[in-house]
Each structure stands twice: as C-alpha cells, then as structure tokens.
Amino acid sequence: MKGVKGRLLNKLKFVPTINTLKQGLAIRRSSLKCQTLPIYTDEDHGCNDIAELVVDSIGVSGRVKELKDEEPELGFNLGDEENFTPPIVSKDRLPGKDNPEVAVQEMEKDSQESPFLKGYEEKCPPGGEDSVIFYTTSLRGIRKTFEDCRTIRFLLQSFKVTFYERDVSLHMEFRDELWSSLSGRVIPPRLFIKGRYIGGADEVVGLHEQGKLKKLLEGIPRNLSDCSCDGCGNIRFVLCSNCSGSCKVFRDGDDDDDDELHIRCPECNENGLVKCPICS
C-alpha cells in the first residue's frame, strides 16, 4: 500500500499546477514582445518537463488547450489572434477634415484678399469681384475733374497692375453702374479694388502718400506691357462700323411716299461707339 502511495505522489510532482500555468502565461506575453524564452531548470520546478509543457502551450507545437481556462486573465482571446484586423478609420471622420475642399477654398480666398481691404466698404460694381475698376471721364469741361482722373490713372499705371477703365462720358451704361453702386449721382474719378470702394482722387492720393495704396493692390495681376491697343489706342471704344457713328441706319420703307426710313442703330451706344473688339 505504501508503495502505491509513493508512486502516486511521484506522479503528482510532474502535474502542472495553477501557479506554473500562470507563469507560463507570463512567458507567453513576454514572448510576444521580445521573442525570447527563459530557461527553466530542475531547481525551479523539479523537472524539465514543465518547461516543455509551457513551450508547447505557447504554440510551438500548436497545442493551447491548457490555457483556455486562463484566457480571461490575459484580456484577449488567444484563438482569435490570427483573424484579428484593426479598425479602419476613414479620413473623412478625422477632426477638422469634414469638408477639406471648402477649407482650402476659404484659405485661398483669404490669402488672395489683402487684409487692408477688409476695412473698406463692400460695394462691388459689375465684374469687379477680383479686379480693379476705375471710373473716369475724358471730358475736359471741368478741369479739376479731368486732372484728378489723369492722376489716378498715372498711379495705377506706375504700379504695373491690370485695371479696367470705364469712361462714363463715352458710355452711359458705365455712368448708371457707378450711380447704382454708390447709391447716388457722383462724379468721377472713383476707384474700386476687388469689390471694395476705395474713394475718389483725394482718398487715393492720400493712401499713396502714406504708402498704403501699394498694399491694397497686392494680389492684382501684373501688366508689364507699355504698348497701347492698336485698335482703339487704349480708349476702349471705336466707331460703329454699321452706322459709322451716326446712330442711324436705313431700311426700305413700307409707305409709298417715303422710299427710305431712318431707324436707330442696334449695335452702338448713344455716341455711336462700340467696345473695342481687341482690348475689351
């Protein structure tokens, strides 16, 4: 009887306990990081079979049945390691990336517009959102008005920027645009930059003397050409070829008494002019 009991106790020495299994789990977690295994001796566990059992339980031979009961302590399922896939985070859900195109457009708009223009009232004439519009007159009836227009024109040309000159004396539509933009009957010269009303001659000359006019013109396309238009000489208008500037054309009359009748030319303005086809 004692012999049977002694043999049973010897066999129980080789059975792994809960403590040895937990130590094996610790080896499992450390092996995932450093890929190295500690060496177990007979003095630590009494037999090298324990080390072999732990190595087998890690997955060297593919047997992990002994660790199924201890999986909750690890915090993850050992059987799902190979099938695990990290979640994919869409770029559209990143913070601040909801509408990247709109953000880029707003940044481009802010970069193109000079910060000095934000202090001026927004009164945009037709087609003046991204350009310089200069209302002037070529009539010399009032000398001061004519000289003021020439002064602003000289300043704009000296900065080598592209600007659009609209002569209210040559085209009544330009005068109506000016009056509508400023809500009143005003006289030229008047300057608009990117939809902002800058002012008349006194305001523009004052800004130039303070060195601010150049800053207001930042971002405006450059015009390095000093040549005048071959078609109109920079007047922006030419005589109407349909009526030769008379504003009248002839047609066959319907009455027997009149062989010909005069009608208004449909192509030119009130002065018998049309916009230059080359520079307009």
For the chain, the structural domain boundaries read: 2-80, 111-226, 238-275
> Which range, of 61-70, 104-113, 127-136, 268-277, averages the lowest pLDDT?
61-70
Which of 8-22, 105-119, 186-200 has the largest mean confidence?
A: 186-200
Cα separation of 140 and 128, whole Å?
27
Short-list 198, 196, 201, 216, CA closest to 123: 196
Q: Which three-class secondary structure state does DSSP give residue 43?
A: helix
The per-residue DSSP string of 201-215 comes to HHHHHHHHHTT-HHH
The label of the residue with tokens 């990117």 reads 194
Is 3.40.30.10 the CATH classification of the domain at 111-226? yes
Cα separation of 69 and 57, whole Å?
13
**Is the pLDDT at 52 greater than 70, yes or no?**
no
